Amino acid sequence: MTLQKKLDEHDDHDHHQLHFVLIPFMTPGHLLPMVDIAIMLARQNLKVTILTTPLNAVRVRPDIEKEIRSGSTLHLRLFQFPNAEAGVPQGCESFDTLPAADLRFNFMKALLMLQKPLEQLFENLNPSPTCVIYDPYIPSVASVAKKFRVPGITFDGTNCFKMLCNHNLREYSNVYQNVVVSGSSEPVLVPGLPHKIEFKRCQLHSLFFNAPTKLDAEFRDKVWEAEEEAFGVLVNSFQELEDEYLKEYTKASGKNVYCIGPVSLSIKDNLDKAQRGKTDSNQEGQYLKWLDSWPARSVIYVCLGSLNNVTPEQLMELGLGLEATERPFILVLRGAYKREEMEKLLKEDGLEERVKERGQIIRGWVPQVLILSHKAIGAFLTHCGWNSTLEGICSGVPLITFPLFAEQFYNEKLVVQVLEIGVRLGVESAMNFGEEEKYGVQVKKEKVKEAIEKVMSEEDEESERIRERARNYAEKANKAMEKDGSSVLNMSVLIQDMIIQQQVIGLN
């Protein structure tokens, strides 16, 4: 009997028999989109289980419990993070809560110790998982998936552009190695891309191409192995945004690649947008009331992410540049590096008092998705984390780029050179954790003002073209997430592929 006939005989499987397990990396930028994906899958009448640690669960439990109350098949199962065994302080179960940069080694050690607790959870999952969607930064999941004969799908929260760049730099390693050996600061041309894209060595993802220690390099190799083991790749992006890079990465990697984003657009209700990732703030109404007082597309929103490690001196230059524009703005200092020093500089300079009529300087968490969707927002100054970048694209506003580390320089290239929906501030080097002071101030206030005017000027034709392209991509993003949109169809393809894989495994 042919394989196809066997599959036909087993074609009575429906969505109720499927069980998707998701294991997110422990930091907000990876956790939140993974939970969005879990909710999207559960709304397809699948059983979906999220596996995470107790303190990470606190961040997303309200969203999950709301879905469960509505009759969802979504479940949350917990495992203990090996703090004591790995030397990670108690109370720290995510990368952004580590009190010192050198504790990243302990955190990596903890990630490599998760195979046993995950295997114990897998043994008690009912029904057995159909597939596991995992972040390759938890490398041991690949071994768990292999042991339990479950197809693995990786999700690292980035995009096809970044993945193709990294793939080609590894594939054509002589291009990169020549720069490493010579120590040159000249840009590296990434081979095999649809566009001419160049990076300086110091802008490449440090873990993959500038691993500072042997431990970093060993962890990187395990991440690569976890990616290689996977059946496919899930991407929080949409075809219309980077179609050329989707096609090229699919061809180059030989993997099944599913673009199912932007997943933040699956959140339709304003209250849900306000609650997404909420920690301790109850001031969202205050922010929105303030935004209501300004004209459409007039306010600059500035947020450098939950892992913001920008020095106080550089943050002050950003603030002074915003002041110089004489435009209304919101500056978020959540997770700011050296908070006490920042507060001292603000007080000594008097910036907050001078701009109080048109500027909001916010400490702590903000409902970013809700703020960006407000009609008053006219530009987004961002660190280029992929979640923030994509949320900015969905809002239809131009981006002003201030990349810090990891893949953020890749995202800047995509925004500025490929999509042409933003301008760069001029940051030239990634700021590695623990070495922030050596970078000092990379962008002065004059550059900040200049970049803002490039995207917000009402008199400049290129500024209007940037804004028009941004609006067009926002429309495409929304269409991708509608019924019969590309991302919705790709979700269906993912589910059908997992049905087939389940049947194939059952027949072998």
Kindly report the CATH number assigned to the domain that includes residue 355.
3.40.50.2000
Residues 212 and 323 in one domain: no
Give the Cβ contact number of residue 77 at 10 Å.
Answer: 13
Residues 71 and 171 in one domain: yes
Residues 151 and 206 in one domain: yes
Q: What is the 3-state secondary structure (H, E, C) of 19-83?
A: EEEEECCCCHHHHHHHHHHHHHHHCCCCEEEEEECHHHHHHHHHHHHHHHHCCCCEEEEECCCCH
Residues 303 and 197 in one domain: no
Q: Which of 149, 211, 241 is nearest to 505 (CA)?
A: 149
Residues 140 and 237 in one domain: yes
Q: HSE-up of 445 (CA within 13 Å, CB side)? A: 12
Give 292-351 pLDDT, tens digit per residue.
999 999 999 999 988 887 889 999 999 999 999 999 999 998 766 688 888 999 999 999
Residue 354: predicted pLDDT: 95
Residues 168 and 84 in one domain: yes
Domain containing 435 equals 283-480
Which phi-psi region, left, alpha or beta, contains residue 205 (left: φ > 0; alpha: ψ -120 to 50)? Answer: beta
Residues 41 and 130 in one domain: yes
For 232, the 3-state DSSP assignment is strand
Q: Is residue 275 part of a domain?
A: no
Q: How confident is the model at residue 10 (pLDDT cuts 50, 70, 90)?
A: very low
Residues 82 and 211 in one domain: yes
Residue 478: predicted pLDDT: 97
Q: Is residue 7 part of a domain?
A: no
Average pLDDT over residues 54-63: 93
Average pLDDT over residues 13-24: 82
Residue 188: predicted pLDDT: 85
Distance CA 200, CA 186 (A): 6
Residues 34 and 164 in one domain: yes
Mean pLDDT rounded to a whole number for the chain: 90
Q: Is residue 274 part of a domain?
A: no
Bridge partners (DSSP) of residue 199 are 188
Give 399-446 pLDDT, tens digit per residue.
999 999 889 999 999 999 999 999 999 999 888 776 667 777 899 999
Q: 52 Cβ partners below 8 Å, 6+ apart?
A: 23, 24, 26, 31, 60, 76, 78, 79
Q: Is residue 412 part of a domain?
A: yes
Residues 453 and 490 in one domain: no
Domain count, the chain: 2
Q: 87 Cβ partners below 8 Å, 6+ apart?
A: 103, 106, 109
Residues 253 and 351 in one domain: no
For 154, the 3-state DSSP assignment is strand
Give 86-95 pLDDT, tens digit per residue.
999 999 999 9
Residue 267: predicted pLDDT: 81
Encoded amino acid at 185, one letter: S
Looking at the chain, the whole-number percentage of residues with pLDDT higher than 90 is 72
Give 372-396 pLDDT, tens digit per residue.
999 999 999 999 999 999 999 999 9
Strand order in the sheet with 232-235: 74-78, 47-52, 19-23, 131-134, 152-154, 232-235, 256-259
Q: What's the pTM?
A: 0.92
> Is the per-residue pLDDT at 2 higher than 70?
no
Average pLDDT over residues 354-359: 94
Give 150-183 pLDDT, tens digit per residue.
999 999 999 999 999 999 998 886 666 665 544 5
Distance CA 324, CA 293 (A): 21
Q: Is residue 103 part of a domain?
A: yes
| Cβ–Cβ under 8 Å, residues 305 and 383 | yes
* More confident call, 4 vs 398: 398
* More confident call, 485 vs 187: 485
Residue 385: predicted pLDDT: 95
Q: Is residue 381 part of a domain?
A: yes
